[in-house]
């Protein structure tokens, strides 16, 4: 068996581990494509050894490069990709990415290519998924930053900190990172605060704490478009004159995609890889492998893949409400 692997969209920690898990669960020859969809078009492929996969499996140094295609694929692009895959005699293609990647796979599968998708995005915004590769490590990066800010707030009390996170139009990263780091307030697109209520909450907290830490999703404000950063500038301008205290800002940004993968990252990657391998061996083709709420990896049809927002019926959402984070 010969398996092709490609990562599309943003890079994430945990990519190496997933490749390693696929390799060690099969006797297949692994071929990786650098550069995402563009790499498939340009046939930028290379073989990868078991030696490299083992050595770099828990490293943050990427084995494979990701990439974005700025314009939509044309028919000629799909035909060229399919030809490249056939010339390499690949039995299937596994792509890690987000919803855009899976929409690409849906079309590629009509060219008689066996396709499998796995959620690799720190946004954790794939329908049916409770976990995507890269998410745990991104949350850990936030926890580390919040801990440092709590320390400086203890050294010089009375400070208010606002941290902007990635996440696009989905607030899942900000919501869960706020819960895991014991931040004070989460600003997520799905649940906008009334500005006066928010200012009042901040003043109330700073009266009883050394510091107040607010996590803000990059997509919280209306001016957001993909790639935009600066939602906290808008929010700080609205808040500072109401609370009378300067707000210190931090934009974590793209560093959230890297870092040493957490133990959860390794385990979840292994669970997802196991289900991909099971589908391949069982002849189940053209699937997206998702992690359901019972922490079980299951296949869904490519046609059913889509973006999602924060689930307001989830236990985590309810916990955030109880703790007045949102």
The dihedral built from the CA positions of residue 268, 262, 58 and 105, taken in this order, carries a sign that is positive
pLDDT bucket at 317, cuts 50 / 70 / 90: very high
Please say if the pLDDT value at position 305 is more than 90: no
The dihedral built from the CA positions of residue 279, 37, 255 and 61, taken in this order, carries a sign that is positive
pTM check: above 0.85: yes
pLDDT bucket at 227, cuts 50 / 70 / 90: confident
CA dist., res. 97 & res. 288, Å (int): 10
pLDDT bucket at 173, cuts 50 / 70 / 90: very high
Using one digit for the tens of pLDDT, what is the confidence trace for 182-199? 999 999 999 999 999 999
pLDDT bucket at 303, cuts 50 / 70 / 90: confident
- For the chain, where are the alpha helices, taking DSSP H only? 15-24, 36-41, 50-55, 75-87, 99-108, 135-155, 172-181, 195-206, 231-243, 263-282, 315-322
DSSP codes of every residue in 142-193: HHHHHHHHHHHHHHS-SEEEEEEE--TT--HHHHHHHHHHT-SEEEBTTBPP
Cβ neighbours for 164, distance < 8 A, ≥ 6 positions apart = 216, 217, 218, 229, 230, 231, 232, 249, 250, 251, 252, 253
DSSP H/E element including 211: strand 211-217
Using one digit for the tens of pLDDT, what is the confidence trace for 130-155? 999 999 999 999 999 999 999 999 99
Please say if the pLDDT value at position 293 is more than 90: no
Using one digit for the tens of pLDDT, what is the confidence trace for 15-37? 999 999 999 999 899 999 999 99
């Amino acid at each position: 068996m010969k398996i092709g692997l490609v990562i599309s969209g943003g890079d994430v920690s945990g990519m190496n581990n997933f490749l390693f898990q696929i390799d060690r669960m099969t006797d297949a020859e692994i071929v990786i494509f650098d550069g995402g969809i563009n790499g498939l078009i340009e046939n930028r492929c290379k073989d990868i050894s078991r030696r490299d996969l083992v050595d770099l499996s828990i490293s943050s140094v990427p084995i494979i490069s990701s990439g974005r295609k700025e314009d939509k694929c044309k028919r000629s692009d799909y035909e060229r990709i399919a030809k490249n895959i056939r010339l390499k005699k690949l039995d299937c293609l596994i792509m890690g990415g987000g919803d855009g990647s899976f929409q690409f796979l849906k079309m590629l599968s009509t060219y008689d290519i066996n396709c499998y998708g796995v959620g690799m995005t720190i946004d954790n915004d794939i329908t049916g998924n409770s976990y995507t590769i890269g998410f745990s490590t991104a949350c850990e990066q936030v926890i580390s930053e919040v801990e440092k800010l709590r320390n400086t707030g203890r050294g010089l009390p009375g400070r208010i900190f606002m941290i902007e996170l990635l996440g696009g139009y989905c607030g899942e990263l900000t919501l869960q990172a706020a819960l895991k780091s014991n931040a004070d307030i989460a600003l997520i697109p799905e649940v906008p605060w009334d500005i006066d209520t928010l200012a009042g909450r901040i003043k109330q907290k700073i009266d009883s704490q050394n510091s107040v830490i607010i996590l803000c999703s990059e997509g919280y404000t209306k001016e957001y478009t993909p790639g935009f950063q600066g939602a906290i500038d808008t929010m700080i301008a609205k808040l500072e004159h109401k609370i009378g205290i300067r707000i210190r800002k931090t934009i974590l940004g793209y560093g959230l995609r890297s870092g040493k993968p957490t133990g959860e990252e390794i385990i979840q990657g292994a669970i997802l890889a196991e289900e991909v391998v099971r589908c391949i061996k069982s002849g189940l083709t053209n699937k997206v492998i998702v992690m359901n709420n019972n922490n079980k990896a299951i296949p869904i049809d490519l046609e059913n893949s889509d973006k999602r927002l924060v689930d307001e019926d989830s236990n985590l959402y309810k916990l955030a409400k109880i703790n007045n984070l949102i």
